[in-house]
């Protein structure tokens, strides 16, 4: 039903960030494939991922605000009420020896599909710096702002690397994360396409793609009116800036009048499957993410907010964890049943964990603060083994007990599975020598790649 989606427009919709204009095409012909990069002093460097890859796509479930490791994937019932609050009865999973939080019963049945990292650490408690470190693998405070994993994947597996999809290669459901410019010095071309809208609503109005109340007929009438009234364009037919505008317009109309709307139409999924994902924004975002990777989109971020629970933490967990449980568990199951899990990395984490010791006093009334010293992440698919635990925290979840994992270790492992060389150079606007992940010489802490689960 969606076959024509890629067929017609593959060549047209090169990149949301940088449409391939006729002029640009000409330049590429003149200079060869690397013409544009040549201008930046980058020679004929190609940024395509060339290594053998197990994974084709990534679904990043970003728990914005920092979820508590103790209440989710690293329970510590023995630490008592001061640490666990009411969530003191973790449950066994379908992998013997692995226990997870009691509000994650559906995920417990999928534990053979994912691995838990219990010893992530970077030591930073500021949202913005921690989010930067976890998503770039670089320390904050240098003079460059590095691109996030999504932008890196979009560089190495997007249009520059032969991706031909109509849908942009880096999608965020539904709002950008903010906090730092996700593409860093790579620039706007590698920023994610934010869908806007809400997949949990009856109609998922993807901003710009799905417009309610405007018939296809009227869309066409309007377009021809727009062309008729293009007086300035008629006065300067040779202008290169306007040619870029027209090329972008053609691409936009491929999405508006083409079949992209069908991809975002979740009513095409069976009702019971939608129920299993959970009829809420997060659950339906997971379903949408599956539909996107099924279409070959290399990087999808689900920006799942609301984990910064300084106050009344446990009430929030009672609300949010069941959503996370259903959505994520169904996603893993659905991907596995469709044979997509082997080629899709699912990465679940926030920027840090939360203080293991509960702040019972006012004004927190049972809150948890930021905690970058140790926290957990979940990885599944795309070459990561399931049913494993990497590293451990101590008895109260306050220290790394064994096998510290730093953000660059996790990202480096992901890149390796995606066929991206973690040491590969990145294009830099001022021609600086920079790499996907910090080199050993840069002194960034590392505990080594996650060989035990790859």
Partner 1 sequence: MRKRPRVLLFLAGWLATMVASATDATLFSAALTTTPPSRIDELVFGQLRQLKIQPAEPCSDAVFVRRVYLDVIGTLPSAVEAREFILDRRPNKRAALIDRLLERDEFADYWAMKWSDLLRVKAEFPINLWPNAAQAYHRWIRDSLRENKPYDRFARELLTASGSNFREPPVNFYRAVQSKEPPALARAVALTFMGVRADRWPSNQLAGLAAFFAQVGYKSTVEWKEEIVFNDPASTNVAVYLGPTRRARFPDGKTITLPADRDPREVFADWLITPKNPWFTRNIANRVWSWLLRRGIIHEPDDIRPDNPPGNPQLLAHLENELVAADYDLKQLFRLILNSRVYQLSSVPGDESPEAAAHFACYPLRRLEAEVLIDAINQITGSSEKYSSAIPEPFTFIPEDMRSIALPDGSITSPFLELFGRPPRDTGLESERNNRVTAAQRLHLLNSSHIQRKIEQSRLVQDHSQSRKPPREIATGLYLGILSRFPTEEELQAAEAYANSGKVRPREAVVDLAWALMNSAEFLHRH
Does residue number 123 form part of the binding site for partner 1 (CB under 8 A)? no
Strands (DSSP E) found in 14-81: 57-63
Residue closer to partner 1 (CB basis): 179 or 401 = 179
Among 7, 22, 81, 222, binds partner 1 (CB under 8 A): 222
* Only segment of 157-165, 192-200, 271-279, 285-293 that touches partner 1 (CB under 8 A): 192-200
Of 76, 101, 117, 135, residue with least CA distance to 398:
76
Does residue number 125 form part of the binding site for partner 1 (CB under 8 A)? no
- Binding flags for partner 1, 410-449, as an x/- string (CB under 8 A): -------------------xx-x-----------------
Cβ neighbours for 403, distance < 8 A, ≥ 6 positions apart: 119, 390, 391, 392, 447
- Joined tokens for residue 259: 């079949």
Residue closer to partner 1 (CB basis): 162 or 237 = 237
Query: What is each CA distance from 24 to 84, 157, 169, 190, in whole angstroms?
Result: 58, 20, 20, 17
On whether the CB atoms of residues 310 and 369 are closer than 8 A, the answer is yes
Q: For residue 168, say if its preceding peptide bond is cis, omega within 30 degrees of 0.
A: no
Q: What is the DSSP letter of 369?
A: -
On whether the CB atoms of residues 400 and 356 are closer than 8 A, the answer is no
Residue closer to partner 1 (CB basis): 86 or 429 = 429
Least separation in angstroms between CB 317 and partner 1: 19
Query: What is each CA distance from 404 to 125, 354, 390, 399, in whole angstroms?
Result: 17, 17, 9, 10
Least separation in angstroms between CB 138 and partner 1: 11
Among 35, 77, 105, 176, binds partner 1 (CB under 8 A): 176
Q: What is the DSSP letter of 319?
A: H
End-to-end, the C-alpha distance of the chain in Å comes to: 36
Residue closer to partner 1 (CB basis): 149 or 420 = 149
Least separation in angstroms between CB 279 and partner 1: 22
Of 353, 420, 408, residue with least CA distance to 382:
420
Does residue number 181 form part of the binding site for partner 1 (CB under 8 A)? yes
Site for partner 1 in 77-106 (CB under 8 A): none
Cβ neighbours for 119, distance < 8 A, ≥ 6 positions apart: 374, 390, 391, 392, 393, 400, 401, 402, 403, 404, 405, 447
- Binding flags for partner 1, 3-32, as an x/- string (CB under 8 A): ----------x-xxxxx-------------
- Binding flags for partner 1, 316-345, as an x/- string (CB under 8 A): ------------------------------
Least separation in angstroms between CB 85 and partner 1: 23
Among 205, 325, 333, 409, binds partner 1 (CB under 8 A): 205
Least separation in angstroms between CB 362 and partner 1: 17
Residue closer to partner 1 (CB basis): 12 or 48 = 12
Among 178, 318, 342, 423, binds partner 1 (CB under 8 A): 178
- Binding flags for partner 1, 252-271, as an x/- string (CB under 8 A): xx-xx---------------
Residue closer to partner 1 (CB basis): 243 or 357 = 243
Least separation in angstroms between CB 32 and partner 1: 21
* Only segment of 32-40, 87-95, 185-193, 419-427 that touches partner 1 (CB under 8 A): 185-193
SS3 193: strand
Residue closer to partner 1 (CB basis): 21 or 393 = 21
Q: How does DSSP assign 252-305, residue by residue?
A: HHHHHHSSHHHHT-GGGS-HHHHHHH-SSHHHHHHHHHHHHHHTT-SEEEEEE-
According to DSSP, the β-strands at 193-194 and 170-173 are parallel
Distance CA 20, CA 5 (A): 19
Residue closer to partner 1 (CB basis): 104 or 408 = 408
Residue closer to partner 1 (CB basis): 106 or 148 = 148
SS3 90: coil
Site for partner 1 in 354-413 (CB under 8 A): none
């Amino acid at each position: 039903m969606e076959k024509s989606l890629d067929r017609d427009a593959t060549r047209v919709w090169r990149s949301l960030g940088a449409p391939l204009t006729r002029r640009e095409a000409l330049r590429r012909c003149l200079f060869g494939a690397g013409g544009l990069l040549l201008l930046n002093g980058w020679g004929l460097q190609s940024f395509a991922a060339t290594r053998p890859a197990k994974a084709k796509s990534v679904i990043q479930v970003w728990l914005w605000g920092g979820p508590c490791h103790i209440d989710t994937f690293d329970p510590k019932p023995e630490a008592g009420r001061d640490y666990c609050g009411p969530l003191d009865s973790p449950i066994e999973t379908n992998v013997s020896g692995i226990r997870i939080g009691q509000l994650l019963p559906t995920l417990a049945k999928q534990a053979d599909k994912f691995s838990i990292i219990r010893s992530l650490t970077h030591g930073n408690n500021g949202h913005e710096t921690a989010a930067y470190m976890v998503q770039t693998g670089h320390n904050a405070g240098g003079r460059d702002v590095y691109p996030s994993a999504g932008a890196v994947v979009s560089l190495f597996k997007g249009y520059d690397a032969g991706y031909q999809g109509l849908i942009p290669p880096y999608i965020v459901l539904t709002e950008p994360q903010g906090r730092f410019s996700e593409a860093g010095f790579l620039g706007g071309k590698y920023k994610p396409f934010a869908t806007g809208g809400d997949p949990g609503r009856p109609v998922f109005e993807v901003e710009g793609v799905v417009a309610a109340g405007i018939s296809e007929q009227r869309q066409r009438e309007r377009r021809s009116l727009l062309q008729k009234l293009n007086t300035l364009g008629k006065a300067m037919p040779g202008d290169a800036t306007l040619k870029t505008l027209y090329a972008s317009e053609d691409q936009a109309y491929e999405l508006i009048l083409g079949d992209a709307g069908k991809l975002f139409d979740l009513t095409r999924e069976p009702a019971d499957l939608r129920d299993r994902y959970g009829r809420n924004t997060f659950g339906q975002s997971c379903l949408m993410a599956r539909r996107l990777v099924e279409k070959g989109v290399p990087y999808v971020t689900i920006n799942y907010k609301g984990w910064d629970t300084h106050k009344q933490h446990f009430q929030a967990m009672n609300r949010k964890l069941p959503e996370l449980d259903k959505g994520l568990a169904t996603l893993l199951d659905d991907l596995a049943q469709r044979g997509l899990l082997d080629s899709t990395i699912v990465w679940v984490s926030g920027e840090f964990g939360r203080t293991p010791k509960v702040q019972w006093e006012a004004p927190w009334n049972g809150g948890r603060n930021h905690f970058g010293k140790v926290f957990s992440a979940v990885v599944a698919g795309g070459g990561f083994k399931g049913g494993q635990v990497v590293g451990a925290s101590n008895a109260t979840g306050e220290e790394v007990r064994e096998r510290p994992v730093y953000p660059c270790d996790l990202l480096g492992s992901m890149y390796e599975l995606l066929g991206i060389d973690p040491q590969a150079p990145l294009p830099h606007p001022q021609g600086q020598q920079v790499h996907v992940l910090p080199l050993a010489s840069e002194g960034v802490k590392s505990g080594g790649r996650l060989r035990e689960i790859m």
